[in-house]
Amino acid sequence: MGLERADDAGVYKVTDEIAIIQTVDFFTPIVDDPYWFGQIAAANALSDVYAMGGVPKTAMNLVAFPAKDMDISVLRRIIEGGLDKMREAGVVLVGGHTVEDPELKYGLSVTGYIHPDRVLTKKNLKVGDLLILTKRLGTGIIGTAIKGALASQDVTDKVTRAMATLNKDAAEVMQDYPVHACTDITGFGFLGHLAEMVDGSGCGVRIKSGSVPVYHEALEYAAMGLVPAGAYRNREFREKTVDFGASVERNVQDVLFDPQTSGGLLISVDATHAQDLLKALKEKGVQDAAMVGEVIAEPKEKILVE
């Protein structure tokens, strides 16, 4: 796949039966606990392979570690967290690289595979499709509240577990349905990633904001002004694509633009199979999955949020 239509991961066709999927992701800690940070970083890096419809197989660790200021046991816990996630995903760690750096960073490069005819991209929305989102939104806003020591332990735990949850189950369930396009929700936020799907598609999208799964705490924090800079950047970047109805409150808009870490899959599926897919996702334990909108003919390449 060419770079002019950047997708979640790179895909290279090896034979008529096999294409490899490659992706890399790493970042600074977003939670205090090193073991959970390791799990989240791994789940986040693996997610792009799932978003392409693929199966991750091998991974390499990428580590930047402040060895002078931090105990090596912290690094050990991060790596353990990452390894446990890879095991859960059925992924083998085949290597890695560590550098000394004033700022701790961790992530993975991941290789997966897929049948070349079954690659799911962002770019194949069909008018009439229904859209399903598999995880709740608001982790960036709640992360800001955690950094400001304003978040409760309860919501911190909830969001930490959700970010560490693999998109594996959702990706496996989706294989059995006529899915036309898929991406995972990360730094550009729900509307930013949806805008990538809408760009060049020749279709529009209608979102029912009341149906989008969100952490109610994120709405509360956003109403208090705890909105990360990334959410403002995402809004500025996509302002012209998104049309908010008069009833969509500002804090709801903020959550829809909130940058996510290890967010859910956004799936565009043939409408006649959408309810069955949603039911199957829930049966598989993807509890927060919800129908959030539909693909429409007009206005073209716009997102209407109601």
Name the residues that contact Co ion, by CB under 5 A. 8, 25, 48, 97, 184
Q: Smallest distance from the beta carbon of 44 to Co ion, in angstroms?
A: 7
Nearest to 21 by CA among 134, 106, 115: 115
Place of tokens 């890879």: 86
Nearest-angstrom CA–CA distance, 134 and 113: 22
Q: Measured from the CB atom, is 133 or 155 closer to Co ion? A: 133
Q: Measured from the CB atom, is 48 or 258 closer to Co ion? A: 48
SS3 15: coil
Q: Measured from the CB atom, is 128 or 187 closer to Co ion? A: 187
Q: Measured from the CB atom, is 8 or 217 closer to Co ion? A: 8
Neighbours of 254 (CB within 10 A): 26
Q: Smallest distance from the beta carbon of 31 to Co ion, in angstroms?
A: 19
E strand spans, the chain: 10-13, 19-27, 55-65, 92-100, 105-114, 130-133, 179-184, 204-207, 242-244, 265-269, 290-296, 303-305
C-beta nearest to Co ion: residue: 8
Terminal alpha carbon distance of the chain = 34
Q: Smallest distance from the beta carbon of 242 to Co ion, in angstroms?
A: 19
Q: Measured from the CB atom, is 184 or 294 closer to Co ion? A: 184
Q: Smallest distance from the beta carbon of 182 to Co ion, in angstroms?
A: 10
Q: Smallest distance from the beta carbon of 169 to Co ion, in angstroms?
A: 17
